[in-house]
Amino acid sequence: MSHQRQSEIKHLRSLGHKLKPVVTVAGKGLSDSVLAEVERALDDHELIKVRLSVGDRVTRHAVTLELGERTGAELIQSIGNIVLLLRRAKKPSPHKSNLIRPL
């Protein structure tokens, strides 16, 4: 991983530290409604936190991979049951994007 990429991820992690989870994936896993909410949140905010209240570590890891795959989001950080996802918008909203607006 390049030094520039490491710096970018470090910056994204620092931005994500201040965020609250906007979506919770619970017992039913990745239902269509949960995926729709994650899609909406990524479209609006670009950088989001998701709480995974499902099973053990292996199950959470599988859900995290599936979430990234199905939404096209990049996993920035995973700590315990919280994951930080990034999907850059083509036209970010200065009022909603967590990458543009001050937190």
Domain ranges of the chain: 3-86
Q: How far is CA 30 from CA 20, 21, 53, 56, in A?
A: 20, 16, 11, 15
* Per-residue pLDDT, 28: 85
Is the pLDDT confidence value at 95 over 90?
Answer: no
- Confidence label for 103 from pLDDT (cuts 50, 70 and 90): low
CATH T-level fold of 3-86: Translation Initiation Factor IF3 (3.30.110)
Mean confidence (pLDDT) of the chain: 92
